[in-house]
Amino acid sequence: MADRALFHTPLPPAPDLEVEVSRGFLADADEHMTGLLVETPWTQGEITVFGQRRPIPRLEAWYGDPGCTYTYSGRLLEPLPWTQRLADLRNRCADAADTAFDSVLVNRYRTGDDAVGWHSDDEPELGQRPVIASLSLGATRRFRLRRRDRSHDPVALDLEHGDLLVMRGPTQALWEHCLTRTARPVGERVNLTFRWIVDPFPTEGGG
Ligand SMILES: O=C(O)CCC(=O)C(=O)O
């Protein structure tokens, strides 16, 4: 069952952008923000940029079913087991998005210096046309989308505490998204992106 009265924000139509926002999806967002901040074993990953190791500008944690490893930016994440809180949130988002999720990336943006650069969630383990459900908690976040071939104007959305954004269809194949740095003073923000890792235990020959 989806949460309390939602209203769906229609986005300006853009080619191949299948995105829907459910404002105020989580009525109990305050409790989850507080709980996640203290319960999550936050880590700060590193990436290699021009041959140099650099910390990524955010904290994160990866949870999922056994076998749901996830590789991005040259890093391999092994899943932590679901907590009760994250399993409940997963089920609520799965109902709302009308699909199943077996994993979630939890991101924490501590200040305006924390960010995630332009990218698509298009890793092979997410399959083609992945459905991604993204829950926003904490301070309002400016989420930007742009078409990979730049044939359309970028789209910006302000995502608020408790909002649910669902991306589906060709969105990951043809669009990128990011959360840019901001010089404005901004409170802590937490984001959960629920995903489906295709076939976590593939067998040779696909059998
Ligand atoms: O925090 C966000 O909304 C973006 C997160 C994101 O792009 C990701 O986890 O891939």
pLDDT tens readout for residues 113-150: 999 999 999 999 999 999 999 999 999 999 999 999 99
pLDDT band per the 50, 70, 90 thresholds, residue 203: low
Atom 3 of ligand 1, residue of closest alpha carbon? 191
Where along the chain do its domains lie?
10-41+56-199
Residues 122, 57: Cα–Cα separation, whole Å: 21
Residues 93, 107: Cα–Cα separation, whole Å: 17
Could you tell me which residue, 150 or 207, shows the higher pLDDT?
150
Residues 35, 32: Cα–Cα separation, whole Å: 5
Sorted by sequence, the CB contacts under 8 Å of residue 131 that are 6+ apart come out as 97, 99, 166, 167, 168, 196
What is the value of pTM for the model shown? Answer: 0.91
| Residue 3 to residues 29, 78, 93, 187, Cα–Cα distance (Å) | 11, 30, 9, 25
Probe ligand 1: pick from 179, 180, 190, 195, max atoms within 8 Å of CB? 179
The first and second tokens of residue 195, run together, are: 């995903």
Distance from the alpha carbon of residue 193 to the mean position of ligand 1, in angstroms: 7
Length of the chain: 207
With a cut of 50, say whether residue 29 has pLDDT above it: yes
Atom 7 of ligand 1, residue of closest alpha carbon? 178
Q: Tokens 């937490």: give the residue.
A: 190
Rg of the chain (C-alpha set):
17
179-201 average pLDDT score: 92
pLDDT at site 5? 39
Residues 117, 155: Cα–Cα separation, whole Å: 15
C-alpha dihedral, 174 to 200 to 193 to 92, nearest 10° = 120
Could you tell me which residue, 40 or 124, shows the higher pLDDT?
40
The first and second tokens of residue 119, run together, are: 């990218």
Closest atom of ligand 1 to 109 CA is 1
Distance from the alpha carbon of residue 38 to the mean position of ligand 1, in angstroms: 20
DSSP 8-state code for residue 43: B
Which fold is adopted by the domain 10-41+56-199? Jelly Rolls (2.60.120)
